[in-house]
Structure 1
Amino acid sequence: MGIIRQHDKRSGITYAYESKSYWDKEKKQSRAKRTLIGRIDDETGEIVPTDGRVRKAMAREAEPDYKVLFEQLLEKNKEQEAEISRLKIELEKNNG
């Protein structure tokens, strides 16, 4: 078992993989199974863990807090109702 660094020329990112060797009985050869550990930070050289899929992380971060959103909408609604009432009173004063 070892850690392998592989540089992606297209993105310029270096990834770290854990490599495990095993014996393939059919081919009678040694084979390797690689598992992504993370990406290598250019500045520090440390391995930053990743799940290998940006979509999963984005989906977790994108989950909104519905209670907060609801409270924000209620506050905005109150402000709009107050503005409507103020404008109605102003309109009545100007027309009447």
Structure 2
Amino acid sequence: ESESYWDKEKKQPRSRRKLIGKLDEETGEIIPTGKSGRKKSSGRKQEENDSPEPITEHIRVIAEKDEQIRLLKAENRALIKEKQEVLKALETLCQRLSD
């Protein structure tokens, strides 16, 4: 809900906005979401397909991410070590060329 008004101090139009709810895409009705939170459903049962993912699925995803992080950290350490060896070899070559 939005109400426009004129701000005399700033000499600009302003608006006051108030959350009255969210639009239900299926029915086109506004579902109130006031301070007390979401209103109770109108007796419609939640279908099994609508149910949230089981916690075990979230745990599996987290474990995969942790493994990916572990592998990337190992790869990063290897690349840093390789970079140090290349820099050391380059330093040695530069010293030989300057002598």
**Larger relative contact order (C-alpha < 8 A, sep ≥ 6)?**
1
Q: TM-score range by the shorter chain?
A: 0.3 to 0.5
Q: Which has the higher strand share?
A: 1
The structure with the largest alpha-carbon Rg is 2
Q: Which has the higher helix share?
A: 2
**TM value normalised by structure 1:** 0.38
